[in-house]
Structure 1
Amino acid sequence: MKGRGGGEHFGRGGPGGPFGRHRGGPFGGRGGRMFDPGALRLVVLGLIAEEPRHGYDIIKALEAKFQGAYSPSPGAIYPMLQMLEEADLVVSQADGNKRLFSITEQGRAYLEENRADLDRINEQVQHVAGRMGGAAIGDELRALAWAIRSKLRGGGWSAEQAQKARDILKTARRELEDL
């Protein structure tokens, strides 16, 4: 059967298992997605294989892998967990008002069949996280923007202070460009 992009679409039991082939890198290029959906599923399954997890724990573990520079939305994770469960790769059990997900034997077998892909994806995640500079840069940028907005809303700066602020920002930009 042909998929939307004209390529082959493989369902359960076809090449690549229940998720199709993992083509190219793990990171999606369209729509601002950080991961290709197949790669994200494999990483999530790998996290569950390490230890049973709740959906929120998976989001936090992915955020930690990216040193805080990326955090998947619940809208990406929870439907995926349901799909993993429907594919018999994980099982869930009620844990208070949450669900605790554990890997099945079928899930372990799938993970082992795709171990090379998962290792490659994890390597690329580490590389990207390092390139992104982790949470520290993002946190500093957000704090800087907040400080400037707060100052402007609180009455702003005198002409002299505004010029000094511009000079500081110009200097910082130039130094960053020279790194």
Structure 2
Amino acid sequence: MTPVFGHGHLRLYLLNLLAEQPRHGYELIQALSDRFGGTYSPSAGTIYPRLAKLEEDGLVTKSTDGRKTVYEITDAGRAERDSRLPELSSIEDRVTDSVRMLADGLRAGVNDAMRSLRAELAAAARDTRDGADQSSAAASQSTAASQSTAASQSTAASQSADAVRTLNASTLREVDAQLNSFRAAVRTELRKRAAEGALDQAAVATLTSELRRIQSELKQSVRS
């Protein structure tokens, strides 16, 4: 998977943000999200190790403000940032492109899972219709063969109804299994993206919108 920031680029961008003003970790995360219009929001596990490295290299210092740790750029950090200013605009362009690719990949994964679910639902619906037709035909044949007694007719009808109920229950179990499989696939993808620091507010908003659309389509499919 392509990283959002290239090698050394997040380091430079953090220095640039701290050159504007001292900030604590959450403020840096929020500032990065704001700079990219909410399309990228790094995790704490991405930011704090880099801040620790910047401090180790003498490029930033940290101080405690109540329960918050505030980071401030040093003269050496400002000198590195100033020497690499031409890189900043190209970094923003590359990050925007990388985030767009991540969002597209997540959307594609959800769409693939949805297509598979639709196919399974369609197959289950066909099985239900075919089974109901077969049960109805069997009931008709049984009734025709046993018209001599009312008891035989009642037994055949009862068996037919039981067969349809059994088939419907089986279909519901199959649909439920497919829904659980779809949910598990989406959950796995989300956890993977979150672990990579690629699950930001924009991606969550996109996923929520897609899931609502999918829910609406499924309801229409069941009703039709």
Task: Map 1:22-101 to 2 at 5 A.
Answer: 31-101=1-71
Q: Which amino acid in structure 1 is aligned with residue 81 of structure 2?
A: L
Q: What's the CA shift for 1:135?
A: 6.1
- What is the distance in 1 between the residues matched to 2:86 and 2:97? 17
* 1:121 corresponds to: 91
* 2:209 corresponds to: 143
Aligned length: 128
Q: Deviations over 1:132-159 (max 9, x none)?
A: 799667514323315745x79xxx73xx
Q: What's the CA shift for 1:65?
A: 1.8
TM-score normalized by the length of structure 1: 0.59
The answer to whether the 8 A contact 2:3-2:98 is kept is: no
- When residues 111 and 136 of structure 1 are mapped into structure 2, their CA distance, relative to the original with a 3 A threshold, is closer
Match of 2:77 among 101, 107, 122: 107
Identity percentage of aligned residues: 38
Higher RCO by CA contacts (8 Å cutoff, separation 6 or greater): 2
Q: Which amino acid in structure 2 is aligned with residue 71 of structure 1?
A: S
- What is the distance in 2 between the residues matched to 1:112 and 1:119? 13
- What is the distance in 1 between the residues matched to 2:99 and 2:2? 16
The answer to whether the 8 A contact 2:61-2:72 is kept is: yes
Q: Which amino acid in structure 2 is aligned with residue 39 of structure 1?
A: H
- What is the distance in 2 between the residues matched to 1:91 and 1:105? 10
SS at match of 1:91: strand
Q: Which amino acid in structure 1 is aligned with residue 74 of structure 2?
A: T
Aligned-pair Cα RMSD in Å? 3.3
For structure 1, the 5+ residue unaligned runs are 1-30, 166-179
Q: Which amino acid in structure 2 is aligned with residue 162 of structure 1?
A: S
Q: Which of the pair is proportionally richer in helix? A: 2
- What is the distance in 2 between the residues matched to 1:139 and 1:114? 34
For structure 2, the 5+ residue unaligned runs are 105-199
The answer to whether the 8 A contact 1:65-1:126 is kept is: no
Match of 2:221 among 149, 155, 162: 162
The answer to whether the 8 A contact 2:2-2:98 is kept is: no
- When residues 96 and 115 of structure 1 are mapped into structure 2, their CA distance, relative to the original with a 3 A threshold, is same
TM-score normalized by the length of structure 2: 0.48
SS at match of 1:70: coil
Q: Which amino acid in structure 2 is aligned with residue 74 of structure 1?
A: A
